A and B are shown apart, each in its own frame.
Chain A
Amino acid sequence: QKEVEQNSGPLSVPEGAIASLNCTYSDRVSQSFFWYRQYSGKSPELIMSIYSNGDKEDGRFTAQLNKASQYVSLLIRDSQPSDSATYLCAAVSGGSYIPTFGRGTSLIVHP
């Protein structure tokens, strides 16, 4: 059974710090990985996708992928209180288009 694991948190960081969110996946043939942000009472919003080993940067966000370790992470630089949300990690296996979601990590950025 395909699984995506995330620490539920909450992860609490001070404003301006780097928030590091981690995710592991069980299916070795997973090829596409996504990070979503979900504010309380709202639907998820796609913020990053990554397909190759290494880092991918987009503004304050950096996604990191290590397929050998089956590990995906999201770094948020200069964290702001508005980044406080639940972050969902998702993985899609090759040949499938149905993502497997983790349960999400709650991030709290305090002023």
Chain B
Amino acid sequence: GAVVSQHPSRVICKSGTSVKIECRSLDFQATTMFWYRQFPKQSLMLMATSNEGSKATYEQGVEKDKFLINHASLTLSTLTVTSAHPEDSSFYICSARDYDSQYFGPGTRLTVT
């Protein structure tokens, strides 16, 4: 089946620093990848949709200058959280579209101290 990897799985950083999260589709090419954020006991929140070779489409209320998304190839998308603050601490999950189904990566737990 379709496999999506994410790295790192867990990261702790200091307030004001930037963190990059990688999302890779391992056995298929994903023209579209999605980035979600999930706070404890809450539902998935779509942050942005990224298409290979073009700018990401951000959902309303998501700051594109703070959450930089780069979909450089058909198998790799990156999310950079710039100038992270404690309120950015969350579970970040990417997913990749394979035909009409969407497969999720294992997620990255970000803690900003």
Size category of the A interface is: 20 to 34
**In angstroms, how far is the closest chain A Cβ from the Cβ of B9?**
10
Cβ of A76 within 8 Å of any chain B Cβ, yes or no, is no
The answer to whether residues A42 and B101 also contact, given A98-B46, A98-B49 and a CB cut-off of 8 A, is no
**In angstroms, how far is the closest chain A Cβ from the Cβ of B40?**
9
User: Do the beta carbons of A97 and B107 come within 8 Å of each other?
Assistant: no
**In angstroms, how far is the closest chain B Cβ from the Cβ of A39?**
11
A99 to B44, CA, bound (A): 11
Cβ of A49 within 8 Å of any chain B Cβ, yes or no, is yes
Q: Give the chain A neighbours of B102 by CB distance below 8 A.
A: 34, 46, 90, 99
User: Do the beta carbons of A43 and B43 come within 8 Å of each other?
Assistant: no
User: Do the beta carbons of B32 and A97 come within 8 Å of each other?
Assistant: yes
Q: Give the chain B neighbours of A49 by CB distance below 8 A.
A: 100-101
Q: Which of A89-109 contact B (CB under 8 A)?
A: 90, 92, 97-99, 101-104
Cβ of A32 within 8 Å of any chain B Cβ, yes or no, is yes
Q: Give the chain A neighbours of B43 by CB distance below 8 A.
A: 88, 101-104
What is the interface size of chain B, counting residues whose CB is below 8 A from a CB of the partner?
17
A43 to B30, CA, bound (A): 18
User: Do the beta carbons of B97 and A44 come within 8 Å of each other?
Assistant: no
User: Do the beta carbons of A46 and B100 come within 8 Å of each other?
Assistant: no
Residue of B nearest to A45 (CB): B104
- A92 CB contact (under 8 Å) in B49, B100, B106: B100
A97 to B95, CA, bound (A): 12
User: Do the beta carbons of A46 and B103 come within 8 Å of each other?
Assistant: yes
- Using a CB–CB cutoff of 8 Å, the interface residues on chain B facing chain A are 32, 34, 43-44, 46, 49, 91, 93, 97, 100-107
- Using a CB–CB cutoff of 8 Å, the interface residues on chain A facing chain B are 32, 34, 36, 41-46, 49, 88, 90, 92, 97-99, 101-104
